[in-house]
Amino acid sequence: MDFPPTTASLDTLANGLSLILDPSDDAPVVSAQLWVETGSIHESRLLGSGLSHFLEHMVFKGAGEFGPSELAETVQAAGGHWNAYTTFGRTVYYIDGPSTGLGDFLRVLTAMVFRPHLPESEFEREKDVIRREIDMGLDDPDDRAQQLLFSTAFVRDPRRHPVIGHRHLFDAITYDDLRSYHAGRYSPDRACLCISGAFDETETRSLVESLVAGIERVGGEDPFLAEDPSQLGPRKARDTFAIPSSKISMTWKVPPLGHPDVPALDLAAVMLGKGRAAHLYRSLRQTRELALDISAWSWTGPAREGLFGVSAEADPGKRDELVKAVREELAAFSQSALEDDLARAKRQVAASQFRSLTTASGRATDLASNWHEARDLDFTRRYLGELEKVNAADIRRALARLVESGETLTILDPEDAPAPSTSRRGRKTAPEAETFTLANGTTVALLPNPKVPVIAMQAAVRAGAASETKATAGLNRLLAATLPQATRRHSAEELADKLESLGASVGASAGNNSLLVQLAGLSPDLGTLAPLFGEILAEPALASDAIDRERSSQLSAVREALTDPLSVAFRQLRAHLFGSHGFGVPTLGEEDSVAGLDRLTLAAHHSLHFRGPNLTVALAGDFDPATAKEILAEALDPIPGGDAWHPDPSEVRDPSEQVFHLPKKQAVLALGYPGAAALGPNRHALRFLQEWCSDMAGPLFTRIREELGLAYQVGATQFHGHDTGLFAFYMATDPGQIELAEEELRSQVASFAAEGIPDDAFERVRSTVLSASALDQQSPGAVARHAAIDLLFGLPACHHRELPEIYAALTAEEVRDAARDLLAHRQPVLIRVTPEA
């Protein structure tokens, strides 16, 4: 199965703008992405200030013919989902949505990038927003660990600075600096506009040409980019943070793209540290139990050195032994037989690349990335060809680069830890979906789609938080982590080898109402994968050593969650709204409850819930329905029958206000109300309300974040339960402004209760919800997940396809009534998380 040659076109317009057009009629959606080849490494005398990221924020403040709020309103009205991000070497603006909105999306993108207003009145206000973002990064252990690594690995290379910038350098940015940087760097000949999805190629090219006709390229020299000298000895750095386990990174400099060792290094990273069959994971986590988690990665790009790395988490007492063991394993791995691991890695990479073709956004990102890195739209296909040529000798040659003198070791320790001792395919029509019930009571749905040769199987089991008590909190999460690791017929090593040799992946997750198990792979392997999926569901090994390892990891995650203000707010919100069982317990669990879970508890829970009438399975992707029906019937037959389990009624407690303290720089507010049930008549209307309260054009963002500058993070979230749910508002704010922020948030909620969504905004919200539904139904994995969950609640397997019609018929009055029912008849549970006094 070769990666198909692209049928996209690449043109250079008169002003130097690169235009990539990739029309496809797979789905009525488009992804428009405008990549600018400038990022934090290009900031010259302001290097390290985060100027590129600041500019990314400021272009949203109005552009071209669009006023400050009209950009968001236009995108929302057209059903678009937009955002932007800044990296070391690029800034990317993108909008995904229905194909009918493409014209508006292109007008917005080209105006933002090439004709932003950059209003001086917004300059200091947005600076305050980013200052809070910088503070939040300082509160985040993963951000701290990453910055520690890059500032140690690089000494002169501009990538040693964080993309968001250092606070003191950021504070020094002037308004003239901002305008000059845009004028000098946002040139059309440094930009690429990539469009993938359903559109007319001729009309779109003509529209783009008209939109950028008056934009001229910028002259002048590019900034000087320093390069690191050769590393002549090992580098080490250590810091401490309020975390429960040590975060370890070991890296080595590697050549840029184009060097013959890079494909081998990419495959070596997969062989060593991607998946449960990977060498380091199996040896150092599963067998020797030195790591709570471990992975390997290779980060390379054009022109500049990259990094080959091993990242791990470990108990501080095992930290030094793990570092030593990683070095030993890397040395031993080069001398071992590599052929089987190499074949598995090639399959994994191919499967991952095929999955990128299943969405318009994935295709656009692949094409634009190919332009950015190689100026070759077929670069992915050519690079996969280079990967396929790699042999064991190439792997050994590449790994010989990982020498002691080139190693960089960084460790972020808990505060009390001791220091270390020293071609588009021909169009195919998808057959109709089919649902049937097996003799054991399992309901199965087949949702074929022959577009891309991938498949996804999804099982939904009635369980989740609704099946837990205070004493068993975290049980479903631990079962989900342990379940797919081994079966009674296949050891962990055998199962991982079998799956990953096929480029397949398996996983499980636990939510509020269900436990989900998913397996994805390539279409020709359905006959091999389905029996393994049945084994995982019916005959998991639930080995005690695996449970012990996953329990340790989950306990570490629990402890880390207890240091995060937003996580603490929602844990307490659930507890004070729903009590001590069901939706009131945190899905991650508590330290005491997770510590008390054992094999007997997991096995009993599995026996009670993994029964045919309590379980649904959906298969989506490229397969023959008749053959698949036979394969699944045999594969799922070992699942026992019996009675379906039904959760106890939820307890909804009286409103209350609670305050909690954490030693952080941010304060968090959360207001929670009993929400809609999974089949509740208001659930679709509340989807509109949630979108209105979370969107960048909505009142919470525009009033509280933009106009008043009271919050960096603000929005609404909800979940639907078997008999009730949760609808919550949240914000992260400065502790000194928490009273004003709370007053404003309550005022906005009161407005929602009285007025719902204003008539002039309602159609924009409808467009956004409709496009979100379309974007969420592109990949086989998403389709299978929707179908399995819908079946579990008694809905048709294709209910997700009915949502556009439901949303199109919903009225503003219905949403207003739903908002009034939700918000007007009771006070919320209010949680405040503030810094310690």
Q: Give the pLDDT confidence of 535-547 residue by residue, as tens digits.
A: 999 999 999 999 9
Helices (H) and strands (E) in the chain, counts: 30, 22
Report the C-alpha gap between 519 and 500 in whole angstroms.
11
Report the share of the chain in percent with pLDDT over 70: 99
Give the C-alpha distances (Å, rounded to integers) separating 362 from 18, 94, 247, 622, 822.
19, 12, 31, 18, 37
Instruction: Mark whether 407 and 438 lie in a shared domain.
Output: no
Residue 104 has pLDDT above 90, yes or no: yes
Sign, CA dihedral 382-388-393-396, equals positive
Residues 6+ apart with CB under 8 A from 14: none
Which residues, listed in sequence order, are joined to residue 374 by a DSSP beta bridge?
Answer: none
Helix (H) / strand (E) containing 204: helix 201-211
Q: Are strands 667-675 and 829-835 parallel, antiparallel or unpaired?
A: antiparallel
Specify if 816 maps to a domain: yes
Q: State the CATH number of the domain containing residue 595.
A: 3.30.830.10
pLDDT tens by residue, 203-234? 999 999 999 999 999 987 889 999 999 999 99
Q: Per-residue pLDDT averaged across 93-119, rounded?
A: 97
Instruction: Mark whether 36 and 66 lie in a shared domain.
Output: yes
Instruction: Mark whether 261 and 203 lie in a shared domain.
Output: no
pLDDT tens by residue, 473-504? 999 999 999 999 999 999 999 999 999 999 99
Band (428; pLDDT cuts 50, 70, 90): low
Q: Per-residue pLDDT averaged across 721-735, rounded?
A: 95
Angle between the N-to-C axes of helices 544-561 and 599-609, in degrees from 0 to 180, rounded to the nearest 10:
90
Q: Per-residue pLDDT averaged across 558-587, rounded?
A: 96
Q: Biggest alpha carbon distance in the chain?
A: 75
Band (137; pLDDT cuts 50, 70, 90): confident
Specify if 426 maps to a domain: no
Report the C-alpha gap between 116 and 55 in whole angstroms.
10
Q: What is the pLDDT of residue 76?
A: 94
Instruction: Mark whether 78 and 143 lie in a shared domain.
Output: yes
- Residue that is last in its domain, among 414, 447, 476: 414
Instruction: Mark whether 93 and 143 lie in a shared domain.
Output: yes
Report the C-alpha gap between 30 and 103 in whole angstroms.
11
Q: What is the pLDDT of residue 1?
A: 60
Band (425; pLDDT cuts 50, 70, 90): very low
Specify if 429 maps to a domain: no
Band (796; pLDDT cuts 50, 70, 90): very high
Instruction: Mark whether 508 and 543 lie in a shared domain.
Output: yes
Computed over every residue of the chain, the mean pLDDT equals 94
Task: Say if CB 550 and CB 494 are below 8 A apart.
Answer: no
Specify if 651 maps to a domain: no
Residues 6+ apart with CB under 8 A from 208: 13, 17, 19, 106, 110, 193
The boundaries of the domain holding residue 67 are 9-211
Specify if 221 maps to a domain: no
Q: What is the pLDDT of residue 429?
A: 57
Give the C-alpha distances (Å, rounded to integers) separating 574 from 242, 327, 463, 720.
24, 45, 18, 13
Report the C-alpha gap between 694 and 696 in whole angstroms.
7
Which residues, listed in sequence order, are joined to residue 235 by a DSSP beta bridge?
Answer: 408
Residues 6+ apart with CB under 8 A from 328: none
Pick the closest to residue 96 from 195, 21, 25, 219 (CA basis).
195
Report the share of the chain in percent with pLDDT over 90: 91
What would the two tokens of residue 492 be?
């962990």
Task: Say if CB 492 and CB 552 are below 8 A apart.
Answer: no
Q: What is the pLDDT of residue 424?
A: 42
Instruction: Mark whether 629 and 683 lie in a shared domain.
Output: no
Instruction: Mark whether 609 and 692 lie in a shared domain.
Output: no
Residue 461 has pLDDT above 60, yes or no: yes
Task: Say if CB 273 and CB 296 are below 8 A apart.
Answer: yes
pLDDT tens by residue, 606-621? 999 999 999 999 999 9
Instruction: Mark whether 474 and 327 lie in a shared domain.
Output: no
Instruction: Mark whether 443 and 325 lie in a shared domain.
Output: no
Instruction: Mark whether 344 and 382 lie in a shared domain.
Output: yes
Helix (H, G, I), strand (E, B) or coil at 104: helix
- Residue that is last in its domain, among 603, 635, 667: 635
Pick the closest to residue 23 from 159, 187, 201 (CA basis).
201
Pick the closest to residue 535 from 490, 567, 591 (CA basis).
490
Specify if 163 maps to a domain: yes
Q: What is the pLDDT of residue 222?
A: 87
Specify if 218 maps to a domain: no
Pick the closest to residue 515 from 474, 574, 561 (CA basis).
474
Pick the closest to residue 272 from 350, 327, 352 (CA basis).
327
pLDDT tens by residue, 26-78? 899 999 999 999 999 999 999 999 999 999 999 999 999 999 899 999 999 99
Task: For 415-477, list the strands marked E by DSSP.
Answer: 434-437, 443-448, 454-462
Task: Say if CB 731 and CB 741 are below 8 A apart.
Answer: yes
Specify if 608 maps to a domain: yes
Q: How many folded domains does the chain comprise?
A: 4
Instruction: Mark whether 169 and 242 lie in a shared domain.
Output: no
Residue 837 has pLDDT above 70, yes or no: no
Q: Per-residue pLDDT averaged across 134-148, rounded?
A: 92
Q: Per-residue pLDDT averaged across 158-172, rounded?
A: 97
Band (423; pLDDT cuts 50, 70, 90): very low
